[in-house]
Amino acid sequence: MTGAVTQTGDVAGAPAAAPRKRALTLGVMLIIAAVFIAFPVVVTDPATTSIAFFALVFMVAASAWNIFSGYSGYLALGHAVFFGTGGYAVAVAARDWHVAGGWPVFALCLFGGLVAGLVAIPVGLVALRTRRHTFVVVTIAIFFIFQLAAYNLGFTGGTSGILLPLPPFSAANFNQPFYYVALVILVLTVLVSWLIRRSRFGLQLLAIRDDEDRALGLGVKTRRLKLTAFVISAIPVGLVGGLYFDFVGQIYPQFAFDPLFDLSIALMAFLGGLGTIVGPLLGALVLESLQQYLTQTFSSDATYLIAYGVLFLAVILVLPRGVVPGVTEWLERRRAKAALSAAHERDAAVPTGGVAGAAQ
């Protein structure tokens, strides 16, 4: 909601209401933070807390994806590359360096994020030579190169994949450490997203989204900027990739480089609202929880695929700009309409007096 408030605050620019609004925002944020922190303590059912963990992972991924694709308007459909490389970096390092499960592997997730960031540099250099739909297709192509490499390279363990060391957590509290680590990553990612959105860097990215050639003409260093944003958006995805596969306990190519992952995070961001801060978070929270719930309930791939595809189509066709911008627009329109009809009533009330009131 920070994004929405900042945006409307900037647009409306009502100085008198600002401090009260800010206090309200802060209050809401504190409540939300408290809910997220208390959740696994209050709800201890492992099935539910694992859903919560998956939701956090996808909130990070969607939010990070949004930093690049949402702000710059370049639709990247290959972020599973970073999810997978982060996961494989952690799995391979844990195996080859004999890292113990639990907190040492969590520390390795930083390494996963680093590797993902490093991989993003050459990927971005190649992909960002193109624009628009060609860019989308190139990111898909690069994604398949990585999937193929994971199947065929020696150190990835091929089709059978790699097992990660088992964390020494008790069965009852197994999910909690994962949940809190994911929560910390989420807070940091949202903070970065928010800072970028408010910065000159963020404005330049938005300028690229609106009209890249004009932005270039105005002196925005578009290539360097796009690459920076691309790398920044890859790092959190690599971080949670490592954490995710540590939680699952194993990694194999089909799972690490999953085309549905690319699509899911894009859908989450679209559902919530592309380019907003809250949108991708909201979209990921709703969709991932729903998806996990559906898989736990139906356990049928086919039903799940159909439901997911239909939902996706409905979102794009009904709310092409996402829930957050859609609702914001609707509220603003309603407010404007209310103000307009109030003004009309006032005008009407002057000559006709009580008649207008009686008519109501």
Partner 1 sequence: MSFTALLQAIVDGVLTGGVYALMAAGLTLIFGVMDIINIAQGVMVILGAYLSYELSVHVGIGLLPGLLITVPLMFGVGVAIEFCFMRRLRDQDRTQMSILVTYAVAIVIEGILTAIFGVDYQQLQASYVNSSVHLLGFYLPDIYLIGFVLAIALLAGLYYMLYRTKFGRAVRSSLQNRTAADLIGIDVNRVRTLSVGIGVAVTAVGGMVFGATNSFNPNTGYDLISRLLAIVILGGMGSIGGAMAAAVFILVINDVVAVAWSPTWAPLVYFVALVIVLSFRPQGLFGRAAVRAQ
Size of the site for partner 1 (CB under 8 A): 43
Restricted to residues 242-271, the positions that interact with partner 1 (CB under 8 A) are 259-260, 263, 266-267, 270
Decide whether 93 or 149 has the Cβ nearer to partner 1: 149
Site for partner 1 contains 141 (CB under 8 A): yes
Decide whether 10 or 301 has the Cβ nearer to partner 1: 301
- Binding segment toward partner 1, per CB under 8 A, in 87-95, 106-114, 235-243, 299-307: 299-307
Site for partner 1 contains 299 (CB under 8 A): no
Strand partners, 251: 162
Choice from 16, 171, 317, 358 touching partner 1 (CB under 8 A): 317
Backbone φ and ψ for 221, nearest 5 degrees, come out as -80, 80
Site for partner 1 contains 309 (CB under 8 A): yes
Decide whether 99 or 311 has the Cβ nearer to partner 1: 311
Task: Give the length of the chain.
Answer: 360
The whole-angstrom separation of Cα 76 and Cα 60 is 16
Q: Please count the CA atoms within 13 angstroms of the CA of 43 that sit on its side-chain side.
A: 14
Restricted to residues 92-131, the positions that interact with partner 1 (CB under 8 A) are 126, 129-131
Site for partner 1 contains 154 (CB under 8 A): no
Site for partner 1 contains 302 (CB under 8 A): yes
- Binding segment toward partner 1, per CB under 8 A, in 21-29, 169-177, 233-241, 295-303: 295-303
Site for partner 1 contains 316 (CB under 8 A): yes
Site for partner 1 contains 290 (CB under 8 A): no
Binding site for partner 1 (CB under 8 A): 75, 77, 126, 129-134, 136-138, 140-142, 144-145, 148-149, 151-152, 259-260, 263, 266-267, 270, 300-310, 312-313, 316-317, 320
